[in-house]
Amino acid sequence: MKIDPIHLKYNRFIRDYRQQTDQMKAYFEYNPFSSFEKRLDYLDKNEYQRKELVEVLLEMNKNWGADTAVHQNIKRLESKNSVVVIGGQQAGLLTGPLYSINKIISIIKLAKQEEEKLKRPVVPVFWIAGEDHDFDEINHVNIKTETGLKKHTVQQIPEFKQSISEINIDSKKAGKWLADIYLELNESYYSKVVYQDLLDMLKQSKTYVDFFAKLINKLFENTGLVLVDSGNRLLRKLETKYFMTLIENQELIAKSVFESLRSLHENNYSISLDADKDDGHLFFHDNHGERILLKKTNSDLWEGKNQEINLSTAELVEIAKHSPHRLSNNVVTRPLMQEWLFPTLAFVGGYGEISYWASLKGAFKEVGLEMPPVVPRYSITYIPQTLDKILEKNNINLTEAINQGVNHLKLNWLSNQTNAPIELLVREMNKSIKELHLPLQEVAADLGEDLKQLAETNLNKIYETTEFLEKRLLREINHKYKKQIDEYDLITSYLYPDNGLQERVFNPLLFINDNGFEIIKEIINLPFTFEEDHYLVRL
């Protein structure tokens, strides 16, 4: 196994962020690659609910079967000089897309790197966004088949839009979903063991967050990765006073985010976040557990986006005090809550996350916090051995293939295999037919509207005949050169699936099934750095 860095084509925001241009620096507190000692000075001045947090984390991780290394890391958080590297994601099925795995690897590597440099305990923490309620975003995986990608969705429809932490698994439907996936995968030396382990985890899990956490613990065994479910009620109790602060400062937070977004747009940065000055940036959970996004419509009234509920500020404060499980954060307030709970040395995020964090610097300041360094996670494309041989044989430029695919190479190669440029011949023939047919159309038009239409129909039928011939000729060529065409298509399916990065589409099960759970530990040991755009990992 080896790695090679390559450059990706990024939008202007990401390019400026990686280069730390002066314009970009205005939106962040720290340089993402070299500010950790400075960050420690800030963290050492703050107080955290360390004892209470440790108790909650121990309870959570015990329920997920965490190993000794995890428990030891949690207990290290009791020390006042300990800090964390943190990042998070939704509880995707079978971990969701590969970028979740890449993010966790980034968190673990950065924590280890900075602990060695700073001579301080640095604990890797992964924040499972269990409070999210969009089940459709996590209820499926994309599995690569011989003919392309196939989406496998678990056929469970929650009665209400509950947080993922509160959706119990329908074991029968989830079991069928997993079995159907395995019908699509090649049988390898590891297949039966991996399948049985996944099935056991599924049966032992009450919720989809549990299933996610158990699988992550298996994949990252002995790394000391600490998991936290943002939708857990025990954690909510620790958040009571912070919810009150968010409620009291709603106007300042909302105004700051709104103005930051306006500034970003004026500087021609594309940001994946919309916000208004009346946004509450909090969710209320009704009696069914459904999340209702709140807006503050006047100085004292909070209401649902669709007027589902109306609450006064005093009522909302009482809920925060006595029923904090009925509140949760959105993308704006979750980073603030994370900062209150954890002594955060660095936040590790994907580029989409980093883009909306650019609007949050002022929001942190309005509640007396400081935005942590925001470090871009590793971006990785994995290349199995079978594909590597095909790439070498065809002399493929991997940077080009990952940025734009190889379909243009396939077409160029195919056009060189026959002396007859069929598409061009058909196009020229149709032009000639149109010219030859024109006098007939003119005569028909003079003789009446019906004959004019008949002549047009006749021309279209001639076009259809030539189109049929073109398709038959191309089909014959494709058949003749099928092996080479299939190789180009295989390259595209691995390196440029759905016209994008592999890590945004593929589920890691494809590689785990072929290589076993241990493949993740081998990847963690590779010499990644955070300064590179993207890595190729040859398995």
Ramachandran bin of 63, using left for φ above 0, alpha for ψ from -120 to 50, beta for the remaining angles:
alpha
Instruction: Kindly state whether residue 493 falls inside one of the protein's structural domains.
Output: yes
Mean pLDDT of 121-148: 90
Instruction: Kindly state whether residue 42 falls inside one of the protein's structural domains.
Output: no
pLDDT at 420 exceeding the cut of 80:
no
pLDDT at 311 exceeding the cut of 80:
yes
What are the Cα distances from residue 219, in Å, to 82, 382, 401, 433, 522? 25, 17, 29, 64, 11
Instruction: Kindly state whether residue 48 falls inside one of the protein's structural domains.
Output: no
What value does the mean pLDDT of the chain take?
93
Looking at the structure of the chain, the number of domains it has is 1
Most confidently modeled of 58-72, 128-142, 288-302? 58-72
pLDDT band of residue 419 (cuts 50, 70, 90) is low
- What's the CA gap between 310 and 304, in Å, rounded? 7
CA 380, chain centre distance (Å): 13
pLDDT band of residue 383 (cuts 50, 70, 90) is very high
Instruction: Kindly state whether residue 100 falls inside one of the protein's structural domains.
Output: no
- Residues with Cβ within 8 Å of 147's Cβ and at least 6 positions away in sequence, in order, are none
From the list 59, 471, 414, 415, the residue with the least C-alpha distance to 227 is 59
Summarize pLDDT for 487-531 with one digit per residue, the tens.
999 999 999 999 999 999 999 999 999 999 999 999 999 999 999
Domain that holds residue 454: 385-514
- Residues with Cβ within 8 Å of 294's Cβ and at least 6 positions away in sequence, in order, are 280, 281, 282, 283, 284, 302, 303, 304, 305, 311
Instruction: Kindly state whether residue 520 falls inside one of the protein's structural domains.
Output: no
Instruction: Kindly state whether residue 43 falls inside one of the protein's structural domains.
Output: no
Query: 537 φ, ψ to 5°?
Result: -115, 115
Predicted TM-score (pTM) of the model is 0.88
pLDDT at 256: 97
Instruction: Kindly state whether residue 96 falls inside one of the protein's structural domains.
Output: no
Instruction: Kindly state whether residue 295 falls inside one of the protein's structural domains.
Output: no
pLDDT at 446 exceeding the cut of 90:
no
